[in-house]
Amino acid sequence: MSLEIVDSCVSCHACYDVCPSNAIEMSALQKHFVIDPKKCTECEGDYADPQCASICPIEETILNASGIPINPLGSLTGIPPEKMEEVMREIQAR
């Protein structure tokens, strides 16, 4: 079982520094960090929580084994998703 990093990754290195399994590396192809599914242990045996998902600052960037974001929209910034949408619409409309 493995977690996955998707395109919204901003390559901040934070997960790379804390992964106990050395499962995270920069992908030259995808231009962001990725998790090697063969190496990822989901931090089992090392920590209670998966480390990458505990430090990643970007919502919806790290998915669990079922493909569901561990940090859903609004969970890290505290910005309600509806509010974010509304403000982004306003900015677009300018």
Give the residue, chosen from 6, 55, 64, 69, that forms a contact with other proteins under the rule CB under 8 A: 55
Q: Which two tokens stand for residue 80?
A: 């309600």
Instruction: Please state, in angstroms and as integers, the Cα–Cα distance from residue 85 to each residue in 30, 50, 74, 81, following that order.
Output: 27, 29, 11, 6
Give the residue, chosen from 7, 13, 28, 82, that forms a contact with ligand SF4 under the rule CB under 6 A: 13
One symbol per residue from 10 to 39: x for binding other proteins (CB under 8 A), - otherwise; what is it? xxxxx-xxx---------------------
Contacted by 49, from ligand SF4, other proteins, none: CB < 5 to 8 Å by type: other proteins
Tell me how far, at minimum, the Cβ of 13 lies from ligand SF4, in Å. Answer: 6
> Cα–Cα distance between 24 and 21 in angstroms, integer?
8
3-state SS, residue 52 = helix
Question: Does residue 88 bind ligand SF4 (CB under 6 A)?
Answer: no
**Which residues of this protein are in contact with other proteins, per CB under 8 A?**
10-14, 16-18, 47-49, 51, 54-55, 57-58, 76-79, 83-84, 87, 90-91, 94
